[in-house]
Amino acid sequence: MDAVAHPVPRPAFRVRLSSWTCSFRYPNLISGFQPTLHVPPLSTVLGLLNAAAGRYLPHEHLELGYVFDFAGQAVDVETIWMVAGAKRKNAQKEDVVVASNNVKSNPVRREFLYEGQLTLYLFDEGLADCFRQPVYQLLLGRSGDLATVDEIREITLHPVWGPAKLRGQLVPLQPYFLPGQIQALPQYFTDTLPRQNLGTQAYSVLSPREAPVEAAVPAWYDADARAAAATQRQRVVGSRVEANDIFLHNVSFTPTHATAG
């Protein structure tokens, strides 16, 4: 988010989603052990918007924030069956590749997250309304990681004065250089075949399992979420529930490039 001289509270729409399982594959690992990121990349979140809307959204300008959390992490072993191809002649005497009887199994160890919770902060009411009756299934990862919309609510975001406390989010590596896992992640994909990455850049992945990162980063807070966290701490002895501050992403895409802040 670009720096603002005198930021003022802003109305926004909070969309909360949850799923039993989640997985966000490292983009450069295709075979072998498949670890998961602890925070979904922007491309996953923008894919959720497309699924809810039922169409590809060009996003000439979009501002949004999101916070992710999960209850646990484990490793699953799944078997991938690979069918070899064989050349055959079709009715036109042309060479084509068809499935053969040569099949072999490939067990793969894959990390996944349990009881994921994604909170979106949107400023476009039309986008928020798409989650009231999603056109396609919402996924937090692969086809089996089905998500449910738990809440859509209009709230107010307030500017954070002083250092922000961030976790469960992605923040561009430049110009903030926050500590955390560094990953080059795409922001979006084209709707062409083959799909092309848009706006790949380095991000600091701030895991929700780690302590909040305090830094001079432009951020906002959800007053409603802060109040709910304070109530939880009063009611439950030893509770350390906190509402995270929110970094806002500004993304814009054209047919040839993407930018982010």
Tell me the two tokens of residue 76: 């699953």
- Report the pLDDT value the prediction gives residue 240, as an integer from 0 to 100: 67
CB 206 within 8 A of CB 168: yes
* pLDDT at 91 exceeding the cut of 70: yes
Distance of alpha carbon 74 from alpha carbon 66, whole angstroms: 23
Write down the residue that tokens 């009887």 correspond to.
101
pLDDT score, position 145: 95
Higher pLDDT, 249 or 1: 249
pLDDT band at 97 (very low <50, low <70, confident <90, very high): confident
Range with the lowest mean pLDDT among 104-108, 198-202, 220-224?
A: 104-108
Q: Please state, in angstroms and rounded to a whole number, the distance separating the CA atoms of residues 48 and 60.
A: 17
Q: What is the model's pLDDT at position 4?
A: 47
The structure tokens 């209009």 sit at 154
Q: Do residues 69 and 117 make contact, with C-beta atoms less than 8 angstroms apart?
A: yes
pLDDT at res. 85? 75
Q: Where are the domains of the chain?
A: 10-260
To the nearest whole number, what is the mean pLDDT of the chain?
Answer: 89
CB atoms within 10 A of CB 69: 19
Question: Out of 3.40.50, 3.40.190, 1.10.287, 3.30.70, which CATH number does the structure's domain 10-260 have?
Answer: 3.30.70
Q: Which two tokens stand for residue 166?
A: 């961030």
- Lowest pLDDT segment from 9-23, 80-94, 114-128, 239-253: 80-94
3-state secondary structure the chain: CCCCCCCCCEEEEEEEEEEEEECCECCCCCCCCECECCCCCHHHHHHHHHHHHCCCCCCCCEEEEEEEECCEEEEEEEEEEEEEEEEEECCCCCEEEEEEEEEEEEEEEEEEEEEEEEEEEECCHHHHHHCCCCCCCCECCCCCCEEEEEEEEEEEEEECCCCEEECCEEEEHHHHCCCCEEEEECCEECCCCCCCEECCEEEEEECCCCCCEEECCCCEEEHHHHHHHHHHHHHCCCCCCCCCCECEEEEEECCCCEEEC
**For residue 256, is pLDDT > 60?**
no
Residue 159 CA: distances (Å) to CA of 65, 70, 221: 13, 26, 6
Average pLDDT over residues 145-158: 97
CA angle 68, 73, 74 (to 5 degrees): 150
- Give residues with Cβ within 8 angstroms of 33, minimum separation 6: 108, 109, 110, 111
From the CB of residue 194, how many other CB atoms can be counted at a distance below 10 Å?
Answer: 6
pTM exceeding 0.85: yes
* Beta strands 197-198; 188-189: pairing state: antiparallel
pLDDT at 5 over 80: no
For residue range 17-58, what is the model confidence (pLDDT) as tens digits? 999 999 998 887 766 788 999 999 999 999 999 999 999 999
Lowest mean pLDDT among 123-132, 178-187, 190-199, 214-223: 190-199
